[in-house]
Amino acid sequence: MLNVLLRMREAQTVPSRTTLNSLLTACIRVGEVDIAAEVVLCWSGKFRDDSKLGFGLSKDVIHEEFHESLRDWRTTIERPCGETFTLVLKGYLEKNRVTDAAKFLGRLCSRENSEHVPCSFVLNGVVDLGLRDEVHTMLQEMASLNAPADSMAYTNLIKAYCKLPQPLKAEAVLRDARQAGHSLDIGSYVPILDAFNLLQDYDCAHRLFRDMKQNDVVPLEPIMNKLLSVFEKEGKPYVMRKLLDTALMEPRLKVDLHDWNRTIQTFSRQKLMFDAKATVKKMRQAGFEPDARTYTFLLGGYILMGSKINEILLLWAEIKERLASSPSTSSTSLKLNEELLNGFLTFFVKYGYFRHALDVIARMEERSYWADKQKLRNMYWHLHRDLYTSKHRSQRRIDMSQERRKEVAAFKAWIGYPT
């Protein structure tokens, strides 16, 4: 290769970039990667310095006439491109000479003698060849030589791993970047989070969020909301609660009642009511009182379980106690909504708790809420149509059930059920 270049100089012919790339390819194919590397470095303005290269090339092979040729041509020749750098790096990596590749890259990307060549630009071509692990090793070698690559090189490799997806390898690159002194921004973390979520590795996604918090990555709030949405959609309430616990320890993050309610709803949908109640307790410790939506989710969860009548009665008692202890004009008072009251009304009618049903009806009428009387009439007919219709009941039993009979009569009158 060197003889060809020297003859071109004698003929006063300036080689094109395509010609030089072809010569480099031929040189690498016959195993002369070091010569190709020296040509590229000199072509890029990184003039010969054997002490920095460490390739051990003799002056008989790379002599001053060769360097003078490239110096003369640099003013007229096209600059080397990404393909040029990739040829050399690929040549080293194919021979498992990662250390020499790192030295070449460190010298190439230094700011000496010429315009700066971004390390990320050089490495992108190697990454595109699928040599991600080799590039990762090269970045580690460069860091060990106290010549770490720029932060964009780490970010590009992280994104390349995440496309596979291989988020654990991307996370390892992230750690290497921090050890090399780079503080990567949120753009490097989001692809890893997305890859973990794609693989349904939600515990790792939460762990990475904790890592972001510890390393002061901003902004965190959109990431927290995104993760909550993903965990909610995938039905992962335990990870949601862990995420909220992490967020509570971060002053920059605001955890609101809506976030707690989403977690409680996810527990309730899966009939994990013990954990739903434990989450309500944590919510109260964080300074939030349950609202109408909280109670709606808890009620729905108990109804799904099918045999939690006592728990629902206790839930209604708690609501009534809160309503009685706090004026309706207070900003912290419980505001009942139509969905919650209709849920309790349906439950009480289904299980024959007509006194509680009348209580709910009174509160609905106070607020001008709508109730589906046709549905309630059908429910009463299917479940309770024979209630208190027997003509063979003793007077003593009739007297004992007098109060309940009045409640049933009042309810039947309200729904328009024929007596």
Torsion of CA 393, 395, 401, 405, to 10 degrees: 80
pLDDT for 233? 97
Q: Which helix (H) or strand (E) holds 350?
A: helix 338-350
Tens digit of pLDDT for each residue in 56-92?
444 444 456 666 766 667 667 788 888 999 999 999 9
pLDDT for 61? 47
> How many residues are recorded in the chain?
419
Say which residues have a Cβ less than 8 Å from residue 10's Cβ, sequence separation at least 6. Answer: none
pLDDT for 62? 47
Average pLDDT of span 117-141 = 92
Q: Quote the tokens at residue 26.
A: 């031929």
Q: Rounded distance, CA 248 to CA 242, Å?
A: 10
Q: How does residue 53 score in pLDDT terms, banded at 50, 70 and 90?
A: very low
Average pLDDT of span 101-105 = 91
Is the pLDDT score of 111 beyond 70?
Answer: no
pTM of the predicted model over 0.75: yes
Percent above pLDDT 90 for the chain: 68
Which residue type occupies 102?
A: A
Q: Which of 13-22, 80-89, 145-154, 237-246 has the lowest mean pLDDT?
A: 13-22
Assess whether the previous peptide bond of 165 is cis (omega < 30° from 0): yes
Say which residues have a Cβ less than 8 Å from residue 85's Cβ, sequence separation at least 6. Answer: 40, 108, 117, 121, 122, 125
Q: Rounded distance, CA 141 to CA 130, Å?
A: 19
Q: Quote the tokens at residue 135.
A: 């590039």
DSSP output for 145-186: TT-PPPHHHHHHHHHHHHHTT-HHHHHHHHHHHHHTT----H
Tens digit of pLDDT for each residue in 181-202?
999 999 999 999 999 999 999 9
Is the pLDDT score of 50 beyond 50?
Answer: no
Find out whether 32 and 1 touch, Cβ atoms under 8 Å. Answer: yes
pLDDT for 54? 43
Q: What is the 3-state secondary structure (H, E, C) of the chain?
A: CHHHHHHHHHCCCCCCHHHHHHHHHHHHHCCCHHHHHHHHHHHCCCCCCHHHHCCCCCCCCCCHHHHHHHHHHCCCCCCCCHHHHHHHHHHHHHCCCHHHHHHHHHHHCCCCCCCCCCHHHHHHHHHHCCCHHHHHHHHHHHHHCCCCCCHHHHHHHHHHHHHCCCHHHHHHHHHHHHHCCCCCCHHHHHHHHHHHHHCCCHHHHHHHHHHHHHCCCCCCHHHHHHHHHHHHHCCCHHHHHHHHHHHHCCCCCCCCHHHHHHHHHHHHHCCCHHHHHHHHHHHHHCCCCCCHHHHHHHHHHHHHHCCCHHHHHHHHHHHHHHHHHCCCCCCCCCCCCHHHHHHHHHHHHHCCCHHHHHHHHHHHHHCCCCCCHHHHHHHHHHHHCCCCCCCCCCHHHHHHCHHHHHHHHHHHHHHCCCC
Is the pLDDT score of 255 beyond 50?
Answer: yes
Is the pLDDT score of 243 beyond 90?
Answer: yes
* Rounded (5°) CA angle 224-227-230: 155
Find out whether 177 and 151 touch, Cβ atoms under 8 Å. Answer: yes
Map out the domains of the chain with their CATH numbers.
1-147 (no CATH), 150-255 (1.25.40.10)
Question: Tokens 């919510």, residue?
Answer: 283
Q: Which of 159-168, 308-317, 331-340 has the lowest mean pLDDT?
A: 331-340
pLDDT for 139? 95
Find out whether 200 and 234 touch, Cβ atoms under 8 Å. Answer: yes
Question: Tokens 């790792």, residue?
Answer: 204
pLDDT for 39? 85
Average pLDDT of span 121-145 = 93
Tens digit of pLDDT for each residue in 356-411?
999 999 999 999 999 999 999 999 999 998 887 666 566 666 665 788 889 999 99
Find out whether 264 and 297 touch, Cβ atoms under 8 Å. Answer: yes
Q: How does residue 16 score in pLDDT terms, banded at 50, 70 and 90?
A: confident
Q: Rounded distance, CA 334 to CA 102, Å?
A: 65
Tens digit of pLDDT for each residue in 170-179?
999 999 999 9
Find out whether 138 and 148 touch, Cβ atoms under 8 Å. Answer: no
Q: Quick count: other Cβ atoms within 10 Å of Cβ 375? A: 14
- Sign of torsion over alpha carbons 305, 308, 309, 314: negative
Is the pLDDT score of 342 beyond 70?
Answer: yes
Mean pLDDT estimate for the chain: 89
Question: Tokens 């090339």, residue?
Answer: 57
Average pLDDT of span 152-176 = 97
Average pLDDT of span 321-349 = 88
